[in-house]
Amino acid sequence: MPTIVIQNPLVMRYRRGATCITDSNCFTMRENGMARALPFTLYASLFSTATTMLRALFSALLPRRPSTMTSADNVPQDKESPIKRLDADVLLHIFSLCRDIDPVSVWAISRTCSRWRQVSLEFASLWTHIVVDSSSIGLLGKSHCLHWLDLWIGRTGGRDIPRVDVTLDLADAQRKHGWAPTCTEVDDILLAAGSVAFRWRSFTYTLDRSFVRAGPIHSWKSLVFGTCMARTAQLEKVRVAEHGKRAFRDSYLLPQVFYLFLLCNQSSPRLRSVSLFNIALQVERTWTAEMDDVYCTISPDANIGPERVHLVIAAYPLMRRLHLAGSSLLPTIATPSITLGRLEALTIEPNTFLAQLLSSVDMPCLSRLTLDARNISKHDQTLSSWTTQQCLADILTELALRSSYWQLKLIVLKLTDDAVPWCYMESFSSLETLHISKSQYMDSLTDPSHLSSLTQEVVRDDALLTWRFPMLRMLILEGAGGSSGISSGKTNQRLIQLGSELKDVFGDRWDAARNGGGIEVLAIDLIQSNVKVEVRYGKSCT
């Protein structure tokens, strides 16, 4: 049997060249009203995509032979069904792919037929993606959530079974199904997930507080959960998010409480990624281990002041990459200076709140900067295009005033209609790569008047001519959509034409680089609609 190479969950290819395309509509059935009303009776229908995939695969692999259709009812004989000839290893591989698409599909697998159920229950690795969200609530029911959650956890096996990924996206289930659990039920779900905390590889916990109803609160549950949090030695990734307003006293296990347990216990030496949404600190805490990525997003309605966000940033002095987004409606106050001695990359939304917050953060090793203005309107609708432009200038000016930031190697600008702040980037003479992405046509991005900072010499203080960005080796211009007046089918040809025009625009700079002008030879990439054209000195555009 030839080796199967699956490049897409819905398209299977094997090395003889045949292609089998499956029905992609079956997985969406769980989103309609029938799936929610009759969850268990629809398992077979929900997983018919896998059945179709297997049948189409065998039809392509097996040699042609006479049909086995009966003359009576024109139905294939069950004993000749190719799908039953697959061994357990092949089934396990396909079931694992389906689990990666949708973790809830393992329940459909286990209720399709006796053989599939036997395979799914025999391999505990199929159940290691535990999910409580709109998908699982819609299929398995919200009235017995704790029951099927305990059953799911039990099927992951014992201590010698691989680590588990747990997602408690309660906010998603609350919004899509109107689920309003009591604070007691929230605590019980957390305790059930905490029973395997020693096997967590990743953990996601989101909650909309406005949907939580009042209920009996037992303080001993917090103590038990705190004990579970002290055993998270396998944990590598955490995502915590809070939505909505507090309707009553916060005595139950909120995402904020979970995060405090995580910081206080310091029991996750493998933890390398933390994502926080509307999560902040009120007292100083420090994560003593190294951290690869810290994501911190604040929504304006969360009433989280800059001093609390400042404490979150200060809690990870050894992080390598920091991602900041969102804003606050609370007044900005002065915050003490902190130093992030190992920070290499910063991604930030250019708004007033974060610009002022950044002014108190020292990053001596920063080499990669990303300014992402694409989602500013989602987080703060009060910002105008002019304000965004001013914030871009403020952040770049703040960095340029610190001599250590002259070592920046990469700047990425993700803009909408904002002009590129060329004059505020000129101080970064060590810049090697500049990536500009805008929601505009490529014709506008490649306009020579917009690139004059790179294509024209300037006069130095000693009256000599020089080039800006002398160390720049790569310029990436990325546009959105099709070019003005150009159909999508002609995008490639249009980009090649623009690339040829750029060769004339950058001719003087390239000649100076080749003739010992003290600057690097610049390479240019044009990207649009999944098409990339390389513009190189002395070569045709490709």
Is-contact 278 241, C-beta < 8 A? yes
Is-contact 128 165, C-beta < 8 A? yes
Q: Which of 161, 179, 159 is nearest to 169 (CA)?
A: 179
Is-contact 75 15, C-beta < 8 A? no
**pLDDT (0 to 100) of residue 46:** 45
**pLDDT (0 to 100) of residue 88:** 85
Q: Which of 442, 434, 433 is nearest to 413 (CA)?
A: 434
Q: Which domain holds residue 24?
A: 1-67+79-127
What CA–CA distance (Å, rounded) separates 26 from 105? 11
Q: Say if 442 falls within a structural domain.
A: no
Q: Say if 170 falls within a structural domain.
A: no
Q: Say if 95 falls within a structural domain.
A: yes
What CA–CA distance (Å, rounded) separates 39 from 148? 13
**pLDDT (0 to 100) of residue 70:** 44
Q: Which of 323, 305, 302 is nearest to 208 (CA)?
A: 302
Is-contact 349 379, C-beta < 8 A? yes
* Partners of residue 459 on adjacent β-strands: 465
Cβ neighbours around 228 below 10 Å, total: 19
CB neighbour class for 323 (10 Å; exposed up to 12, middle 13-18, buried from 19): middle
Residue with structure tokens 């916060």? 250
What CA–CA distance (Å, rounded) separates 442 from 440? 6
**pLDDT (0 to 100) of residue 433:** 96
In terms of DSSP bridges, do strands 164-169 and 523-528 run parallel, antiparallel, or are they unpaired?
Answer: unpaired
What CA–CA distance (Å, rounded) separates 139 from 107? 9
What CA–CA distance (Å, rounded) separates 442 from 330? 39
Q: Say if 73 falls within a structural domain.
A: no
Q: Which of 446, 449, 454, 460 is nearest to 474 (CA)?
A: 454
pTM: 0.81
Q: Which helix (H) or strand (E) holds 237?
A: strand 237-243
Cβ neighbours around 427 below 10 Å, total: 17
**pLDDT (0 to 100) of residue 385:** 58
**pLDDT (0 to 100) of residue 416:** 84
**pLDDT (0 to 100) of residue 51:** 56
CB neighbour class for 252 (10 Å; exposed up to 12, middle 13-18, buried from 19): buried
Residue with structure tokens 């604070």? 183
Longest Cα–Cα distance in the chain = 98
**pLDDT (0 to 100) of residue 56:** 53
Determine the straight-line distance between the first and last CA of the chain, rounded to whole angstroms: 40
Q: Say if 133 falls within a structural domain.
A: no
> Within a 13 Å sphere around the CA of 90, how many CA atoms are in the beta-carbon half?
17
What CA–CA distance (Å, rounded) separates 410 from 427? 13
**pLDDT (0 to 100) of residue 131:** 94
State the amino acid at position 487 in one-letter form.
S
Report CA-CA distances (Å) from 31 to 44, 103, 381.
15, 15, 31
Q: Say if 92 falls within a structural domain.
A: yes
- DSSP-assigned states of every residue in 314-380: HT-TTEEEEEEEE--SSPP-----EE-TT--EEEE---HHHHHHHTTEE-TT--EEEEE-TTHHHH-
The residue length of the chain stands at: 542
Q: Say if 466 falls within a structural domain.
A: no
Q: Which of 505, 498, 444, 509 is nearest to 472 (CA)?
A: 509
What CA–CA distance (Å, rounded) separates 290 from 344? 13
Q: Say if 108 falls within a structural domain.
A: yes
Domain count, the chain: 1
**How confident is the prediction along the chain (542 residues), in pLDDT tens digits per residue?**
333 333 333 333 323 333 333 333 333 333 333 333 333 333 444 445 555 555 554 454 444 444 444 444 444 445 556 777 788 888 888 899 988 888 899 998 898 888 889 999 988 889 999 999 988 998 888 888 999 999 999 999 876 667 999 999 999 888 888 888 888 899 999 999 999 999 999 999 999 988 888 888 888 888 899 899 999 999 999 999 999 876 556 567 889 989 999 998 899 999 999 999 999 888 889 999 999 999 999 998 888 888 899 999 999 999 999 999 998 888 777 788 999 999 999 999 998 889 888 888 999 999 999 999 887 755 455 555 567 788 888 888 888 877 566 688 999 999 887 788 898 888 888 999 999 998 877 777 888 888 988 998 888 777 678 899 999 999 999 987 654 444 455 667 888 888 888 998 999 999 999 988 789 999 999 998 788 889 998 877 77
